[in-house]
Amino acid sequence: MGRLAMTVPDAATTPVAATAPEPVTELLNRSHRLGRDPRNTNYAGGNTSTKGQATDPVTGGQVELMWVKGSGGDLGTLTDKGLAVLRLDRLRALVAVYPGEQREDEMVAAFDFCLHGKGAAAPSIDTAMHGLVKADHVDHLHPDAGIAFATAADGEALTKACFGERVVWVPWRRPGFQLGLDIAEVAAGHPDAIGVVLGGHGITAWGNTSDECEARSLEIIHTAQAYIDANGRPDPFGALVGAYDPLPDQERHARAAALFPVLRGLASTDARQIGHYDDRGPVLDFLARERHPALADKGTSCPDHFLRTKVKPMVLDLAPDVPLQQAVGRLRELHEVYRSEYRAYYERYATPGSPPMRGADPAIVLVPGIGMFSFGKDKQTARVAAEFYVNAINVMRGAEAISVYEPIPEPEKFRIEYWELEEQKLRRLPPPKPLATRVAFVTGAGSGIGAATARRLAADGACVVCADLDEGNAKSVASGIGGPDTAAAVRADVSREDDVAAALQAAVLAFGGVDLVVNNAGMSISKSLLDTTVGDWDRQHAVMARGSFLVSREAARVMVPQAMGGDIIYIVSKNAIFAGPNNVAYGATKADQAHQVRLLAAELGEHGIRVNGVNPDGVVRGSGIFASGWGAQRAAVYGVPEEKLGEYYASRTLLKREVLPEHVANAVFVLASRELSHTTGLLVPVDAGVAAAFLR
C-alpha cells in the first residue's frame, strides 16, 4: 500500500482525498478512462476504489484508508470530492457485528462510523465490496457485454466456457454487505481469479496496482464481447418486420413531434415530466425486429437500468404510418393498461414498510419506426433513462445471441426499485425549483428582454428554448445558460409560418413539449403618420401582431393535446395604451398584441392555458430594438442625446427609476409561477409608473 503524510489542519477541514494526490490521482484517472467509455459502464453506474496509508491526525500513527466512489457519483466525471474515505480497520471490523442478510441495510448507516476526516462523499451500498476484498484496487462496472453474461439463462456455464477459472460466477444477490462478503470469499478462494461476473448485475475486478486492476476490468469486458461476437447468433432479435421499418428522417421527426406532447401528458399523469427523444440506429433496429415486444416485456435487468427505466417500457403495437389519431388513441389505451399493471405489480410485492408507489406512468415508451421517448424529473434524468435503455437493448442482444435473456425475478426487481436505501437517496435531493419540469419557449431571446427572460426562467428551473432571428445570438444566450439539458437555441423568423412551426417542433423534440411561451420578438419603427409607408406598417405588424399570433397558435397546437395546461405571456408595451408621438405602426401593433392577450385568455382557458402580458416602457439597456435604430429615432423625437435616453425615460416616471430587462423578466416569472395560478387575461405594467398608461 502507498504511504501518505497528512497535516492536521487539512484533515480537520477538507476531504482526506485533497491531501492524498498520488493514489487518488491514479484512482480518478482510472475512473475517468473507464467511465467515459459507454461500453464499460453506464452513466453514474459502477464504482472504483484504492487503498493506502495516511497519518492519523489524532495519534500521529499510520492508518490504512480506502478511497471509493461515493453514492450518486459518475465515474467519467468523478472528482476527489466525490470519494468516500474510510478507515479499513473499522470497515472490516463490521464483519464481526454483521447481523445477517435480513438486516444488512443497517450496515450502510454503520459505514458513517468508519469515515475518516470531514467533507467527503457519503459511502454507497457497494462500499463493502471494495473494502472486504483484500486487493488494493477494485473496479465494479456495468458493461453491456458483462451484463449479457450476467442475464443469460445459463450465465454460470457461459462464464466458465468463456473465462475458465480466471473469472468466477457469483449468483444474483441484491447489492449490499452480504454481496461484499460473497465476493471477498471468492477472491480469497480463487487466487488465480482476476474478477467475477455478478449474476443479474455486472462485473467486479481487482488488482495489486491501479493499472493492473484497470487492465483486468478491460480484459473481462473485451473477452466477453469477443465470445459473443465469435459464438453468437447473427440476428438475436429475429427477422425484420417490414411494417415496422423506420420512416424517412423528416417524416419520422414530424411524427415524433406530433406524438411527443401526447406522450408527455400521459407520462405526467402522476407527476410532471420532461422528455427526451432517441432515434439512434440500435433503437430503431430493435423496434423493427419481430421479437422486440416479447423481449421488452421481460424488462431490464441490471439494478441501475430499471431504477431509471422502471421494470419495463410501454410499447406501441402499430406501424409508424398509421393515421395519427389512431396511434394517439392506441397509446391512451396502452397507457391505461400500463398503469393498471404497474399498480398490480406494486400491490403484489409491497409490504407495510415499503415506500409509497412513486407513480404508475411509464418512463420509457417505444414506438416502432419512430424511436424511443423517455421521461424524468429533468432533462438529464430523461436522457440518462434513454441511455440506460440502449444499454438494456445491447444487453438483450448479447444475452440472446449466446443464450436466452433472463433478467432477475420480478420480486427482486421490486426489492430494488422500492428499496428503502433508494428512497433515502430521493429524500436527500434538494427541493425542486419553482419552474422545474416546465419547458419555456422565448422569442427574441438573443438580446435584451428576451435574453434576460430566458436566463431568469432557467435560473428558476425551466428548460428554455431560445428562439431568435439571429441564430448566433440565440446560441450565445443558450450556451451561457447551460448545456443542452438546460437550454437549446433555434433560429426563427416569427413572421414566417414555416419558421414558427419548425422552431416549435425543435422545442418539442428537445424537451417533450412546451409549457410556457414568451412572445417577445419585436422591432420598432418611429415615424409620423405621413412618413409611415405601407411597407413600414406591414413589416411592423408582420413581426409583432402576426408573429405573436403564429407563435401562440403553434404553441396551442402543442399545449392542447399535451393536456398539462400552460402559459402564454406577451411582452406588450405601455404604447398599447399610451398614444405617443410618431409611433403609429408600433403603437397599433402593440395594441393588437394586448387584445390578443384578452382574446386568447378567453379561448384557451378551458384547456387550462393562461394568457397574460407585460407592459414595459423605456427598456433601453441591452435592447436589440433600441440598438438597431429605434433608440436614435426616439431620442430625436424627445430631443435628448441617445446615450441619455434611459435617463430621460426614468425622469418622466412616477418612481424615477430606469426599467431594465431583468425587471421585465421578473414579471414574466411571477405570471408563470404558481402564485398567480388563477390569473389570466392580465396586463402587468413594468414602467416605473407612467400615469398616462394606467389601465382603466
Residue 98 falls in the annotated catalytic set: no
Residue 118's pLDDT is: 84
Mean pLDDT of the 518-541 span: 94
**Which of 376-385, 571-580, 614-623 ranks highest by mean pLDDT?**
376-385
Residue 42's pLDDT is: 83
- The pLDDT > 70 percentage for the chain reads 96
Mean pLDDT of the 430-449 span: 96
CA distances from 659 to 212, 545, 577, 665, 668 (A): 63, 24, 18, 11, 14
What is the distance between the alpha carbons of residues 572 and 409, in angstroms, rounded to a whole number?
A: 59
Cell 453506464, residue? 42
Torsion of CA 349, 355, 356, 359, to 10 degrees: -80
pLDDT (tens digit per residue) in 592-610: 999 999 999 999 999 999 9
Residue type, 571: I
The two beta strands, 364-367 and 314-315, are: parallel
The answer, yes or no, to whether residue 256 has pLDDT greater than 70, is yes
pLDDT (tens digit per residue) in 490-512: 999 999 999 999 999 999 999 99
Neighbouring C-alpha atoms within 13 Å toward the C-beta of 347: 7
pLDDT (tens digit per residue) in 291-310: 999 999 999 877 777 778 99
525, 532 Cβ separation under 8 angstroms: yes
Residue type, 351: T
Mean pLDDT of the 624-636 span: 73
Residue 44's pLDDT is: 77
What is the distance between the alpha carbons of residues 458 and 503, in angstroms, rounded to a whole number?
A: 19
Longest alpha-carbon distance in the chain: 97
Residue 21's pLDDT is: 58
Residue 284 — pLDDT band, cuts 50, 70, 90?
A: very high
The two beta strands, 62-69 and 47-55, are: antiparallel
Residue 9 — pLDDT band, cuts 50, 70, 90?
A: very low
The two beta strands, 137-141 and 47-55, are: antiparallel
Residue 593's pLDDT is: 97
Q: Using only the alpha carbons of the chain, give its radius of gyration.
A: 30
Cell 435487468, residue? 301
Residue 119's pLDDT is: 77
Residue 695 — pLDDT band, cuts 50, 70, 90?
A: confident
Mean pLDDT of the 433-440 span: 98
pLDDT (tens digit per residue) in 185-228: 999 999 999 999 999 999 999 999 999 999 999 999 999 999 99
The answer, yes or no, to whether residue 12 has pLDDT greater than 60, is no
What is the distance between the alpha carbons of residues 16 and 13, in angstroms, rounded to a whole number?
A: 9
Residue 51's pLDDT is: 96
The two beta strands, 274-278 and 487-491, are: unpaired
The answer, yes or no, to whether residue 471 has pLDDT greater than 60, is yes
Residue 15's pLDDT is: 41
Q: Residue 588's closest CA among 635, 624, 544?
A: 544
The two beta strands, 516-519 and 137-141, are: unpaired
Residue 10 — pLDDT band, cuts 50, 70, 90?
A: very low
CA distances from 519 to 35, 371, 614, 692 (A): 42, 32, 10, 24
More confident residue, 678 or 632: 678
Question: Contacts by 343-350 with C-beta closer than 8 Å and gap 24+?
Answer: 345/311, 345/410, 345/414, 346/414, 346/418, 348/410, 348/414, 349/410, 349/411, 349/414, 349/415, 349/418, 350/414, 350/418
The answer, yes or no, to whether residue 649 has pLDDT greater than 90, is no
Mean pLDDT of the 42-52 span: 90
Residue 635 — pLDDT band, cuts 50, 70, 90?
A: confident
Mean pLDDT of the 114-132 span: 92
pLDDT (tens digit per residue) in 542-595: 999 999 999 999 999 999 999 999 999 999 999 999 988 888 999 999 999 999
pLDDT (tens digit per residue) in 63-75: 999 999 998 888 9
Averaged confidence pLDDT in the chain: 93
Those residues with Cβ within 8 angstroms of residue 510's Cβ, 6 or more apart along the chain or in another chain: 463, 465, 484, 488
pLDDT (tens digit per residue) in 229-244: 999 999 999 999 999 9
Q: What are phi and psi of 591, to 5 degrees?
A: -65, -35
Residue 619 — pLDDT band, cuts 50, 70, 90?
A: confident
Q: What CATH number does domain 439-618+659-688 carry, 3.30.479.10, 3.40.630.10, 2.60.40.420, 3.40.50.720? A: 3.40.50.720
Which of the residues 405, 586, 648, 649 is marked catalytic?
A: 586
What is the distance between the alpha carbons of residues 105 and 102, in angstroms, rounded to a whole number?
A: 8
pLDDT (tens digit per residue) in 125-161: 999 999 999 999 999 999 999 999 999 999 999 999 9
- Give the predicted TM-score (pTM) of the model: 0.92
- CATH topology of 2-231 equal to that of 243-428? yes
Residue 55's pLDDT is: 86
More confident residue, 629 or 145: 145
Residue 6 — pLDDT band, cuts 50, 70, 90?
A: very low
The answer, yes or no, to whether residue 7 has pLDDT greater than 50, is no
2-231 classified as CATH 3.40.225.10: yes
Residue 13's pLDDT is: 33
Q: Residue 563's closest CA among 258, 269, 254, 358?
A: 269
| Sequence-ordered alpha helix ranges (H) in 350-447 | 379-402, 410-417, 420-428
The answer, yes or no, to whether residue 423 has pLDDT greater than 90, is no
- The pLDDT > 90 percentage for the chain reads 81
Q: Which CATH architecture has domain 243-428?
A: 3-Layer(aba) Sandwich (3.40)
Domain definitions of the chain by residue range: 2-231, 243-428, 439-618+659-688
